[in-house]
Structure 1
Amino acid sequence: MNLYNKLIPAFLLILSTSITTTAQNLQADVQHYDISLTLSDSTDKISAVTGITVRFKEDARELCLDLVGRSGRDTGMAVSMVTEGKKPVAFRQQRESVRLQIRAKKGETHTYRIAYSGIPANGLIISTNMYGKRTFFTDNWPNRAHYWLPSIDHPSDKAAVDYTIIAPDHYNVVANGLKTEETNLPGRLKRTRYQEKVVLPTKVFAVGVADFAIDHPGDVKGIPVYTYVYPQNKARGFQDYAKAVEVLDFFIGKLGPYAYKKLANVQSKTMFGGMENAGAIFYEEESVGARTIEPLIAHEIAHQWFGDAVTETGWEHVWLSEGFATYMTHVYMEHKYGADTLAAGMKADRRKIIAFNKRRHTPVVDTSRQGGYMQLLNANSYEKGGWVLHMLRRQVGDSLFWKGIRSYFAAYNGRNANTDNFRQAMEQASGQELTAFFQQWLHTPGVPVLAVRKGNDPHTMVVEQLQETLFSFPLEYKADNNPEIQRILIKDRVTMLSIPGAELIHIDPRTNLLIEDRFE
């Protein structure tokens, strides 16, 4: 997702970080969700039946699913019945879960149907849009799907999903996958079905129900690209979101095959600037007409490869999603507007990282859980993660970098990956040992802070690392009397540079290094 255009409301931060879910479920692996939702204009209460097909990795007497129950504020989901086939299944509903009493053997696959209803407190946002029109939009990241959906609400559990949405017939419905049915029903209702056969984590499940104007600006290698915007934004929205055709074409060529059967770009009520739901990206309402619409679209489409098709094993590895999308956006802008645009973007990101590091001293791969998962959406996960990829690209060279990126995607497409998996893929592609590189840039807090001053000898400069933990990196510099770029390995606390006849030097002239420099 993209945070550049939208601040997350504080109350939503508090709400979403105060909950706990079943982290990874070590006993069960969901294979498929069959979600039936009935929505109404007269109430915010939803009625739902979700079928969950589970393969058991161990013998089990209980299946714990994440689901937020009823609260004193009259929100939450109340389960009325659970069945397997025609047989009722005993269950216990708790504040944030429903526990099914079952008998399952290792290797068996079972399908349970859970009937429930209630007003979602989060996750499925029932509201009005900027024009006062009623809308329904899922907004699940990081673990908010279980406010409306019984699930294993963790990125490590990926499953296929079918949707059946019954809603008033004036609405259009968009969701993951391909539309397989749209049927008018009695009572001015309409049933819409979508089917997504590619496995997804719940964080990128998507359902959008609103009065939309719909466009089809083109196909990319057989993939239809659609636009869904509010009718009031039709002219500008169709023009802005059509940029997705060019962006999708670029990333397919750069990264590998697109994993899904369609790409819908949807104006929505997401709390983020954009939310990378698989094949159905939700953008904030104000995105239409925004100056940043092109990089925003590039960011969210890049996520279709990184975050959606290849999903991090846990939230601490979210840089594999956000850092990748951040850097791939810069790569797209470099492709379209030139190397100076890339350099300007990296410099802006470097300033954000340095400012963040002064407020919070944590590594990119952050297992501390301080403040919950939402706090991981910060300059470490986005900008510093992107900078790590930029420095890795410069270290191994363009050809081997892109070979490694494509190999990593091919190996983990449809699966989960962690930071070590990515490192190993890049080592295999480049033939370089990258453990030290990954350790200092991803697992070590902070960035190198360099003090640069004249040495005692008039033909020298002194470079001193001021931060507590020493880093090792190649430093490029250019003296004012020599057009050639010089390169030296910095690994000690103090390093002397020889600059015969020069008065000034320019550190990192090609914007290839994540440092804070302080000239004296």
Structure 2
Amino acid sequence: MTTKLRLILGALLLATLTSLPAVAQRGEFGDHLSRPHYAPDRTVDVEHYRLEMAFDPENKQVSGQVSIRFTAIRDSLTTVELDAGPMEIDAVVLDEMEEASDGLEFQHDGETLRVELPRALRSGETVTLTVRYTARPQVGLYFVGPDDAYPDRPAQVWSQGEAEDNHHWFPSFDFPNDRATSEEIYTVPADWTAVGNGEFLGVEENPGGRTRSFHYRMDVPHVSYLVSVVAGRMERYTDDLDGLPIEYYVPEGTGEETARRSFDLTPAMMRFFNERIGVPYPYASYTQSCAVDFIWGGMENIGATTQSAETLHDATASLDTDSWGLVAHELAHQWFGDLLTCADWSHAWLNESFATYWENLWREHHQGRDEFQYQLIADRDAYLEEDRERYRRALVEYRYTDPMDLFDSHLYPKGSWILHMMRGVLGDEAFFKAINHYVLTYREQVVETEDLRKAMSQATGVNMTRYFDQWVYHGGHLELQVTRDWDPDAGILTLHFAQTQELDDKTPLYALPLHVAVDTTEGTVHRVVRLERASHDLTVRLDGEPLLVRIDPDFQVLMELDHQRPVAEMLRALSLNPSVAGRILVARDLAKRATAVEATPDLAAALADDPFYGVRAEAAKALGELRGDAARDALIRAVRADPEARVRAAAASALGSFREDDVAAAALEDSLGSERAYGTQAAAVLALGKMDAPGARQAARRALQRDSHRERVRAAALEALGEMGNRDDIPLVREWIAYGKPPRARQAAVAALAVLARAEEHREELVEQLIELLDDRYIWVRRAAIEGLGELHASEALDRLERSAQVEVHARLRKLARASVQQIREAKGSGKSVAELNAELEELRAETRRQAHRIEELEKRVQ
């Protein structure tokens, strides 16, 4: 490429950048309601819960009693406070009271049950308190079943206790700083099965034949949020591992093939975790039960994981979907989260980061190092997006509004990366030895971060204080720029390392070892630079010219790397770097730093030939950013012929950037007609919508008739209709919002409606409908409405969103409502109308397209 063309492209890029509105600064974690939270004081030590309760699905009611055996911690204990949500308390009795007694005096305010004891208890004295009650919970316990709109929906009762919701269906000490054993007797309709926690002790048919009672006992002490129930008409399938029962409960009509498609690897996962952790699975059995309309993906209730029924999928879905990550994650929690549990929510990373990393370790064991690194890339991306676009926080954070605020991309993927880096620093042998020591030392206890730090140091002899201070008690990550000088006469390569992250009270200067590999024609030279200062130099004597300089070759450091290197070397790295992560990151760099002329041939070759599907998918994304006829043709070949559905989907998505390109549009329409995989169908229809191709509306309407796992195809079709912004499609989108349509399609239709509402001429009526949907019965519809109103900066929705932030029953939706309120207030503070903001956004998009087209034309002249 000529110098003149480089100058022209630079000028065009500058013009585009200067047209951008000011980039919003990273916000703060939390909001105006956030405050420091600490574990409550304990006046008693709970030893055992015995739940005896009957579930009435018709009236959505639970009734019965909970008996709580506890030991007084302090002398002169005269009152006991239990967490108890809205419920009717019939009586509270003490084990030593006479049967005819009226019970104890108590006060109940809908959140706390304060019980007056008949006498003062001494420290160390143990008694049993029984509460008899009836409840119709709004959270914690859920009744689902058929109605006129969904006549085929299975009837079930299931619980979801984390973080602090179990006290809405049974009085308890609902905080994770106390552990107790439990026993459950669940009475359900006679044709139902009830699944509880621990050893199954039997089922008893009750007089009259209308109900039966299932009896379970968990002898390993656990925190109260891990008590659970799933009940309904279910099929049961079984496995075992060395005599330990493993069971899968799925809704009636599912079939064994479908159930095993999701859960069949459970025994192999358990064997791997037993060996890797060095502590055998610690409970009498392991059960996974599928809950209909479950509000999250899965929940690690002790010995009895609840999984969303949405994880069950057909053979076609298995072309690009599996349940392995979810199954492994929840199984890992049986150690990290159940056997050891965070003592308060500020230390919840000890639950979630561990489960996330052990999920990744399973992929490394079962699918290989390449898949492991690809998951690390996905985790890195998720964390960096949150850090860049939302907020930066320390992993241990005491200041929040609701505990669920902490369950974010810092807690899951970043925390997993912190464990991965710790493994890199210590080495495999020392790391897993230390994990084993940590689990053995603190099993059946509640833990804080300092417990982990001490265990790692005790087991390895390595002082981990600095590591934890940098990565756990501070936020942020390493931002590293690497430049070089090469002296061919002396054969000396000098690498210059500069930490470029902005230092503040959250973000430190990092101290860590960084590995470097330099490949030459004579072999590979390995070095380690110990970063401690803002800048370091590393001098390497070589026998030949450096072909590849690989920073962090084993992908062990969470960082944003700005590696200044020649395009020619980047192109070599795309094919020669042995690391999947290295090839993926260089594909991304090529899309940013190279021209289409320079990079397209090699990216096209990677898309066609790289042995790992993830690299091919990333090459497809890069080609979509670079554009040009050669890139388009390579993507079309991949859409038509790549053997991996996820690559075909990535290529289809990338073709969506080729607006006004009839060849690309025709290829996407062909794909829609021939493709089996749901993900690729979804990518193709959405790409057509983003291109606003002539046949896109008709393609989207046809796609609305296709069934798919989790409504992936319909959801993409609805999103495409929203993106195209045609007023004539509003009635159709509204039709798919109607109660009775598949719930995931309804969610997508609400999101599409919010996009359509950007147009000023029909904004008012659509915003009004979005406001009405804040009261929808389906959680994901309410979520889409909350997010849509925030993105629209709908000031007319402020009152209703503020109400949702207060009364919405689900904590995560309350958080989203607060965020939408903040979005709207910030937009109002900018002084620009919604129309002006939308117009600015559309003009920026149009200008970007114009500049891209001009760049393509200029590049063609020199090809």
Q: TM-score, normalised by structure 1?
A: 0.91
Change (3 A) 1:376 1:411: same
Measured in 1, the distance between the counterparts of 2:485 and 2:124 equals 69
Measured in 2, the distance between the counterparts of 1:181 and 1:19 equals 46
Shift of 1:454: 3.8
Match of 2:186 in 1: 165
Matches within 5 A, 1:264-413: 264-269=287-292, 270-289=294-313, 291-358=321-388, 359-369=390-400, 371-413=401-443
Structure with higher helix content: 2
**CA contact under 8 A between 2:38 and 2:344: conserved in structure 1?**
no
Match of 1:3 in 2: none
Q: Does 1:508 find its partner at 2:552?
A: yes
Change (3 A) 1:153 1:22: farther
Deviations 1:167-194 (A, max 9, x none): 1101101010122121112151112111
Name the SS of the counterpart of 2:56 in structure 1: coil
**CA contact under 8 A between 2:517 and 2:551: conserved in structure 1?**
yes
Deviations 1:222-280 (A, max 9, x none): 21001100122223113421221111111112221211100001111432211111111
Shift of 1:403: 1.2
Name the SS of the counterpart of 1:478 in structure 2: strand
Change (3 A) 1:173 1:18: farther
Letter in 2 for 1:266: S
Shift of 1:19: 13
Shift of 1:380: 1.4
Change (3 A) 1:20 1:519: closer
Change (3 A) 1:114 1:25: farther
Q: Does 1:113 find its partner at 2:126?
A: no
Letter in 1 for 2:140: G
Deviations 1:446-477 (A, max 9, x none): 00111223459894332211121211111112
Shift of 1:25: 3.9
Deviations 1:406-445 (A, max 9, x none): 1111111111111111111111111111110111111111
Shift of 1:519: 3.1
Aligned pair partner of 2:63 in 37, 40, 47: 47
Shifted more, 122-131 versus 32-41: the winner is: 122-131
Matches within 5 A, 1:57-456: 57-59=73-75, 60-69=77-86, 77-85=87-95, 86=98, 87=101, 88-102=103-117, 103-128=120-145, 131-185=152-206, 186-216=208-238, 218-235=239-256, 236-255=258-277, 256-269=279-292, 270-289=294-313, 291-358=321-388, 359-369=390-400, 371-454=401-484
**CA contact under 8 A between 1:22 and 1:66: conserved in structure 2?**
no
**CA contact under 8 A between 1:347 and 1:511: conserved in structure 2?**
no
Shift of 1:313: 1.0
Deviations 1:370-411 (A, max 9, x none): x31112111211112111111111222211211111111111
Deviations 1:339-396 (A, max 9, x none): 2222222222122222221121101111122x31112111211112111111111222
Change (3 A) 1:387 1:101: same
Match of 2:49 in 1: 33
Measured in 1, the distance between the counterparts of 2:559 and 2:437 equals 29
Measured in 2, the distance between the counterparts of 1:300 and 1:121 equals 25
Name the SS of the counterpart of 2:550 in structure 1: strand
Measured in 2, the distance between the counterparts of 1:424 and 1:365 equals 16
Letter in 2 for 1:66: D
Change (3 A) 1:23 1:150: farther
Measured in 2, the distance between the counterparts of 1:81 and 1:21 equals 32
Letter in 1 for 2:328: A
Shift of 1:94: 1.4
Match of 1:7 in 2: none
Give unpaired runs (5+ residues) of structure 1.
1-13, 70-76
**CA contact under 8 A between 2:34 and 2:399: conserved in structure 1?**
no
Shift of 1:50: 0.7
Shift of 1:300: 0.7
Shifted more, 186-195 versus 134-143: the winner is: 186-195
**CA contact under 8 A between 2:195 and 2:230: conserved in structure 1?**
yes
Name the SS of the counterpart of 1:485 in structure 2: strand
Letter in 2 for 1:292: D
Letter in 1 for 2:514: L
Letter in 2 for 1:188: R
Change (3 A) 1:315 1:19: same
Name the SS of the counterpart of 2:404 in structure 1: helix
Measured in 1, the distance between the counterparts of 2:456 and 2:35 equals 36
Change (3 A) 1:406 1:421: same
Measured in 1, the distance between the counterparts of 2:371 and 2:486 equals 39
Change (3 A) 1:20 1:472: closer
Q: TM-score, normalised by structure 2?
A: 0.55
Change (3 A) 1:183 1:212: same
Letter in 2 for 1:273: G
Name the SS of the counterpart of 1:233 in structure 2: coil
Measured in 2, the distance between the counterparts of 1:253 and 1:292 equals 24
Measured in 1, the distance between the counterparts of 2:170 and 2:136 equals 12
Number of aligned residue pairs = 496
**CA contact under 8 A between 1:24 and 1:157: conserved in structure 2?**
no
Measured in 1, the distance between the counterparts of 2:38 and 2:346 equals 16
Q: Does 1:477 find its partner at 2:500?
A: no
Letter in 2 for 1:144: D
Change (3 A) 1:457 1:373: farther
Letter in 2 for 1:252: N
Give unpaired runs (5+ residues) of structure 2.
1-29, 565-863
CA RMSD of aligned residues (A): 2.2
Name the SS of the counterpart of 1:39 in structure 2: strand
Name the SS of the counterpart of 2:363 in structure 1: helix
Structure with higher strand content: 1
Change (3 A) 1:435 1:21: closer
Deviations 1:308-329 (A, max 9, x none): 0111111111111111111111
Structure with the larger RCO, 1 or 2 (CA within 8 Å, 6+ apart): 1
Measured in 2, the distance between the counterparts of 1:335 and 1:324 equals 16
Name the SS of the counterpart of 2:138 in structure 1: coil
Shift of 1:118: 2.1
Name the SS of the counterpart of 2:396 in structure 1: coil
Measured in 1, the distance between the counterparts of 2:532 and 2:383 equals 22
Name the SS of the counterpart of 2:268 in structure 1: helix
Q: Does 1:519 find its partner at 2:563?
A: yes
Letter in 2 for 1:91: F
Overall identity of the aligned pairs, in %:
27
**CA contact under 8 A between 1:25 and 1:152: conserved in structure 2?**
no
Letter in 2 for 1:150: P
Shifted more, 47-56 versus 393-402: the winner is: 393-402
Name the SS of the counterpart of 2:419 in structure 1: helix
